Structure 1
Amino acid sequence: MTASPSPTIRPLADSDCLTELTALLHAAYASLAVQGWNFTAVDQSVDVTRERLTGAQGFVAERDGRLVGTVAVRGPKPPGEAYIADPPPPLYTTPGTAILAQLAVHPDCRGEGLGERLMTAAEAWARDQGFVQLALDTAEPAEALRRRYERRGYATVGRIQWQGKTYVSVLMSKPLA
């Protein structure tokens, strides 16, 4: 049996199917839903996927014509713009701050370093755009996710309870020197 080629990381294209991307998010976040964490990507609609990509640079990992990973990165939110359904925390409106979201790797491709490659692409994009820090949030009880981000240089800088979520989130940031 021949091993599958390593996925290609590339910018999200207008021709990419958001229905396929949404299905990827659902598959990737299903294991978190089983733990009782209702991350937005667990069951978001295609319209929410589109909305979350508005103003963002999306990246995808593609193998054999199939989307197997994704991440989105964007600049700070204007203070009046909602973050999904909530007002954004001050960290997400700070000039010079890029926001990382929707990091997902299909369960069939876990353990291949794909999440790290996607984060590297997002961090490089943010640095190239002149952002001085990258911010993200994740469920406080999701210790493995928090450790992954900490290994990449992210530090916890706050906590937030998003509307309708079954968990408290930690806000994390990393300087982009």
Structure 2
Amino acid sequence: MADFRMAAQEDAPALLELTLRAYEPIRQLGINFAAATADLDLVRKNIRENMCFVMEEDGKIVSTISARMPWGPSPGPFGVPHLWWFASDPDVGRKGVGREMITWCEEVIIRDTLKSPAVSLGTADRHPWLIEMYKRRHYEIQGSKDLGRGHITIYMKKDFIKVNPEDRN
């Protein structure tokens, strides 16, 4: 059974090792995500400045995801929590670990605990399958921006609360 918790600074070496293994295919694609070339200082900074979560199975970290807050040092573009640094252990295989991690973060943390009406994320336009994966998870493209990293960042948002314009009165 999986256990979820906030990451602690003591988790940094394990998170770095997991992240570098998980992002190997991203590096091979030549996509410059910050997590793909992280070092221990960047992992520690992520844990310190963001809500960094881990999923453990039998005491081993098998997945991680972070949420940057609108009031934090590196907010997302829409004034809602912004997911990033999402990685799952490639040795676990296709057991739904990543899906379970992101669903837990979206629903338990962002929607139910923080009461946020939405969540956002960014991904690379050149990634061969991530945009479609996030669309299947009900994320919608909201815009794009060239951040100078060699790709266009596609910003996506998932609304938890659908508002009918007629209900705003």
**TM-score, normalization by structure 1:** 0.81
Kindly tell me: are residues 36 and 66 of structure 1, through their superposed partners in 2, closer, same or farther at Cα, counting changes over 3 Å? same
**Corresponding residue for 1:176?**
160
**Corresponding residue for 1:3?**
none
1:154 aligns with 2:148: no
Task: Give the residue type in structure 2 aligned to 1:70.
Answer: T
1:103 aligns with 2:86: yes
Residue correspondence of structure 1 range 67-82 to structure 2 within 5 A: 67-77=61-71, 81=73
Cα distance in 2 for partners of 1:109, 1:70 equals: 13
Kindly tell me: are residues 89 and 67 of structure 1, through their superposed partners in 2, closer, same or farther at Cα, counting changes over 3 Å? closer
Q: 1:28 Cα deviation (Å)?
A: 0.5
**Corresponding residue for 1:122?**
105
Task: Give the residue type in structure 1 aligned to 2:159.
Answer: P
1:40-64 per-position Cα deviation (integer Å, ceiling 9, x unaligned): 1112112111222334322212223
1:10-57 per-position Cα deviation (integer Å, ceiling 9, x unaligned): 112436420110111111001111111121111211211122233432
Deviates more, 1:137-146 or 1:10-19: 10-19
Task: Give the residue type in structure 2 aligned to 1:176.
Answer: F
**Corresponding residue for 2:167?**
none
Residue correspondence of structure 1 range 3-82 to structure 2 within 5 A: 8-14=2-8, 16-77=10-71, 81=73
Contact 2:46 2:52 survives alignment (8 Å): no
SS at match of 1:138: strand
Contact 2:76 2:82 survives alignment (8 Å): no
Paired residues in the alignment total: 159
Contact 1:22 1:44 survives alignment (8 Å): yes
Contact 2:76 2:121 survives alignment (8 Å): no
Kindly tell me: are residues 147 and 12 of structure 1, through their superposed partners in 2, closer, same or farther at Cα, counting changes over 3 Å? same
Q: 1:69 Cα deviation (Å)?
A: 0.8
Identity over the aligned pairs, expressed in percent? 26
**TM-score, normalization by structure 2:** 0.85
Contact 2:69 2:76 survives alignment (8 Å): no
Gaps of 5+ in 1: 1-5
